[in-house]
Amino acid sequence: MQELGIDLMLVTPSADLRYLIGYNAIPLERITALAISPHSAPFLVVPRLEISTATASPFGDLGWEVIGWAENDNPYDIIRNTSGFSQGRIAVDNHMWAERVLKIQKNFPNAVIELAAPIIGAIRIVKTPTELDFLREAASAIDRVHAQVPNVLKVGRTEEEVGRDISELILAEGHTRVDFVIVASGPNAASPHHELSDRVIHAGDPVVVDIGGTMPSGYCSDCTRTYSMGDPGIEFIRRYEVLQRAQELSTKAVHNGAISHSIDAAGRNELAKSDLAKYFIHRTGHGIGLETHEEPYVGENNETVIENNMVFSIEPGFYIEGIHGARIEDIVICTPNGPETINNQTRNLVIIEN
């Protein structure tokens, strides 16, 4: 904060707050905010009815003050009086509600408000050894779910029916929350973020299954595999083999010092050789941690320099509207020895015979 000239940082309930102090506060209409200044101890402002919850969190073990505010208090006055801040630069977390930002602007009219991403993001983007273990645990849990997908993915069932069963498996394999379940069959597989539908799965359909959840640690899983209900046809198989090579090449391009767009290009260029790059309509990957999508992002125009212990997905795909699509997604850690892929279910096309 001193280096960047930030006088006060305010962090409200979010993954940023949980990361910094271990308090997984629920965002409510009453403001909770961690206040950090460069030259004084942090303090936490919470609604009075949340004091016991806040002090029972890991923040309560740090020895810093938890200040409760009553219904007739102005919590922004408490922030001003406790921090001594009245004017200067305030950094706010990226997920802060617009309502909060406008109230900060009103209560601190002489302040310049900006994002805290250059501070918090720079810390969160590189994972600690403990975080890496949490992410490996999450990846293993979602791998166990994918191992069971052929048991529930059947011709004659709807996407919604299969999706409900997969949701139950995600919880059964150790997640505390199901974050998303995509079951995209046949032509629906050409939609990368397809919503579960009542479409009946047919013989010969390729089916993209993209699933993820949150573990007790708070860390997330995310993995995509493509299945086929019997023989999908020679053209799809040919395209899928190209996709496998592209995913492997992007993974191999991960190393300390790599530029994000070069990782994207490694796979995209392979798809272009078979005229499939025009059907690859999203970036190659996204970071993952306490959020499913966070920094770093791996895309065509992204200049992020990859460092050891950054973690992100590698997930090229092709999506041919009205016909079919496919995607392969692994979570990868950049290590001093190169990429460590922490999802280990087969990347081959899984053909399910009914």
Q: What is the pLDDT of residues 207-220, one digit of tens each?
A: 999 999 999 999 99
- How crowded is residue 322: how many other Cβ atoms within 10 Å of its Cβ? 7
Instruction: Compute the average pLDDT of residues 225-250.
Output: 98
Q: Does 8 score more than 90 pLDDT?
A: yes
More confident call, 156 vs 86? 156
User: What is the distance between the alpha carbons of residues 197 and 349, in angstroms, rounded to a whole number?
Assistant: 23
Q: Which tens digits make up the pLDDT trace of 258-283?
A: 999 999 999 999 999 999 999 999 99
Residue 182: predicted pLDDT: 98
270: three-class secondary structure by DSSP: helix
Residue 165: predicted pLDDT: 98
User: What is the distance between the alpha carbons of residues 153 and 46, in angstroms, rounded to a whole number?
Assistant: 47
Residue 169: predicted pLDDT: 98
What superfamily does domain 8-124 belong to in CATH?
Creatinase/prolidase N-terminal domain (3.40.350.10)
- Going edge to edge, which strands form the sheet with 111-115? 65-69, 40-47, 33-37, 8-11, 88-92, 111-115
Q: Does 245 score more than 90 pLDDT?
A: yes
Q: Which tens digits make up the pLDDT trace of 72-119?
A: 999 999 999 999 999 999 999 999 999 999 999 999 999 999 999 999
Instruction: Compute the average pLDDT of residues 30-44.
Output: 95
Closest alpha carbon to 298 in 283, 279, 310: 283
- How crowded is residue 320: how many other Cβ atoms within 10 Å of its Cβ? 17
Q: Does 354 score more than 80 pLDDT?
A: no
3-state per-residue secondary structure call for 104-127:
HHHHCCCEEEEECHHHHHHHHCCC
Q: Note if the bond before 129 is cis, omega within 30 degrees.
A: no
Q: What is the CATH number of domain 129-352?
A: 3.90.230.10
Q: Where are the domains of the chain?
A: 8-124, 129-352
How far CA 328 is from CA of 194, 224, 341, 345, in Å, comes to 15, 5, 13, 11
Tokens of 89: 């630069």
What pairing do the DSSP bridges indicate for beta strands 40-47 and 65-69? parallel
User: What is the distance between the alpha carbons of residues 134 and 260, in angstroms, rounded to a whole number?
Assistant: 24
Residues facing residue 36 across a β-bridge: 9
Instruction: Compute the average pLDDT of residues 32-59.
Output: 95
Q: Work out the angle between the directed axes of helices 159-172 and 129-152 (0-180°, nearest 10).
A: 140
Q: Which tens digits make up the pLDDT trace of 307-337?
A: 999 999 999 999 999 999 999 999 999 999 9
Q: Does 23 score more than 80 pLDDT?
A: yes
CB 309 within 8 A of CB 338: no
- CA-based radius of gyration for the chain: 23
Detail the DSSP E strand segments found in the chain: 8-11, 33-37, 40-47, 65-69, 88-92, 111-115, 177-185, 206-214, 223-229, 285-287, 294-298, 311-314, 317-320, 324-327, 330-335, 338-341, 350-352
Q: Which tens digits make up the pLDDT trace of 145-155?
A: 999 999 999 99
Query: Could you give the percent of the chain with pLDDT greater than 90?
Result: 98
Rounded to 5 degrees, what are φ and ψ at 262? -70, -30
Give the pLDDT band of residue 60 (cuts 50, 70, 90). very high
Mean pLDDT across the chain: 97
Residue 236: predicted pLDDT: 98
Give the pLDDT band of residue 298 (cuts 50, 70, 90). very high
- Look up the pTM and report it: 0.95
Q: Does 248 score more than 90 pLDDT?
A: yes
Q: To the nearest 5 percent, what fractions of the chain are helix, strand and coil? A: 35, 25, 35
